[in-house]
Amino acid sequence: MPTSKPRVVSFREESKINSPAFDDPSEAGFFVSALPQDPLIQAPNNTFSNQIKTLHLSSDKPLSARPSSKQCALAGIVPMSLAGQCYYSLCNTTGGHVLARSFVRSIRKLGLARKAFTPFDALELKPQALRGLIQLWKRIHWSPGDGMMPVEQLLAIYEYVLRWPGDGDVVELGSWTGLTTCYLATACQQRGNSHVYAVDTFEGTMEFGQTYPSVAGFGGSTYAEFSKRIAQAGHENRVTPLVGRTDHWAGEYPGKPIRVLFIDADHSYEGVRNDFENWHKHVEPGGLIIFHDHNFPGVKRFIDETLRDDPRVSHDPGLIVENVYMVTRTTT
């Protein structure tokens, strides 16, 4: 694994160096896949705006490569369409939430709009959970983009982190560009407690002796992209990046006992086993441990074989959606 000097990062310090790509964080509401067919985004059909959409607004582009607010003004791109504003306003009320959910359920029964679409899928969440996401989506786009996680998995994890009992903190092992981190922090914000510690080298997760090739698109590190996304989401004071290897920070963990541990770093058998062994001791009794990418051979082997009869955990809730497996730490 590429080595980097472990460090705790202060966003107040880093923001002077890695400022957001937009003049106003609220302008980030349109970024990622802002295409004409997106019903929550409005963009005029002219040559300049189409060039910007083609070159800068695809989800695999770093935020720094996306247009500034001045470029967007020249292109006539509206940060959030009127339809998007109305939809969020409607869903932010209890009655509107019920109405929108009933409508979406009805059209999906008719075979329409069945493709995964985050603003529609999130209607199945409870009102408090949805309101938290709406506040997040007003700052950053709802699209998973380069977050490497399908909609149903992202929403399921968010909901469990929001409602899981306890007063401890949340630790994420493997943060990539910070999309899941923003959802974890939003869940903690809705609860009114908990801090999120994001542990990553930001140099690409080592798996099977290699790193993700896509990290090269971020100049060899996703940290700048991560920082901008957290800042745009307004979670600088709720998220602390722990830059370095997971095994190092297991011995230097600075937070409270862990309420939720999210393991999504090295997906090899040895990597998952080491992350569990190094970190489970920090999880409070009754705390939740989430394994992502359960379908990966190494992750599945660890859970199905090594962890099957381990008295330190209870296999509850278990597999909640495809690729997301959760266990509870026992008092043993």
pLDDT tens string 292-323: 999 999 999 999 999 999 999 999 999 999 99
Q: Are 225 and 218 in contact (CB under 8 A)?
A: yes
Q: What is the pLDDT of residue 274?
A: 96
Other residues' Cβ atoms within 10 Å of the Cβ of residue 229: 28
Report the pLDDT value the prediction gives residue 8, as an integer from 0 to 100: 66
| Below-50 pLDDT ranges, the chain | 1-4, 12-67, 69-78
Residue 318's region, left for phi above 0, alpha for psi from -120 to 50, else beta, is left
Q: What angle do CA 126, 131, 137 make, to 5 degrees?
A: 125
**Segment 117-157, tens digit of pLDDT:** 889 999 999 999 999 999 999 888 876 555 578 889 999 99
Helix (H/G/I), strand (E/B), else coil: 204 = coil
pLDDT of 211 reads: 75
Show Cβ contacts of residue 320 under 8 Å, excluding neighbours closer than 6 positions: 156, 160, 326
**What is the rounded radius of gyration, in angstroms, for the C-alpha atoms of the chain?**
20
Non-local (6+) Cβ contacts of 218 within 8 A are 62, 177, 224, 225
**What stretch of H or E contains 173?**
strand 169-173
Domain 145-329 maps to which CATH number in 2.40.50.140, 3.40.50.1370, 2.60.40.420, 3.40.50.150? 3.40.50.150
